[in-house]
Amino acid sequence: MSIFTSVERASAENTTEVMSLLVNTAEWLLMKGSTQWNGLLKGEDSSNTPEAISRGEVYLFKKDYRVAGMVILMQEPSAWDRDLWGEVSGDHSAIYLHRLAIDRKFAGQDVGKHIMRWVDGAVPEQLGKHVVRLDCLASISVLNDFYRDLGYRNVGEQANSSGMFSKFQKSV
């Protein structure tokens, strides 16, 4: 059973709200001592979120008609994904999950867990893909445990100019 009032694809009109959620999340991560997503604080967006919105890849999860969280589900690997995943990124049965973000007003309500469960069902049903791939900083054990506890398998680590990243995937 979903805790969300609605799940919808973001539209151009949602761009400011989506970017605000991402920047607020990056600020919260920084306060927690994490550098993940700190490019957003400098105006850098490696996920090119406005373009992802226009492609219909950004999903908003509303609770009581307020955005509680969001996620980007990229149909094709980005340059970031190709760098981290290498040759396997050419596998067209996979979707690349980016920018799972929760509005801090909804913290402690398992919003992230519910979004990930929705992803597990929506990816094969709505998007016709059978593998979900994602990455996170290898140094954030809480985040690595979060994905592992949801059945995502750590398939290795890869370094790039932003640090060392754990790569997770799950067949859905």
Handedness of CA 138, 140, 143, 145 (dihedral sign): positive
What are the pLDDT digits (tens) for 30-75?
Answer: 998 888 899 999 999 988 999 999 999 999 999 988 999 999 999 9
Statement: 6-133 belongs to CATH 1.20.810.10: no
What are the pLDDT digits (tens) for 113-166?
Answer: 999 999 999 999 899 999 999 999 999 999 999 999 999 999 999 998 888 999
Distance between CA atoms of residues 79 and 121, nearest Å: 26
What is the Rg, in whole angstroms, of the alpha carbon atoms belonging to the chain?
A: 15
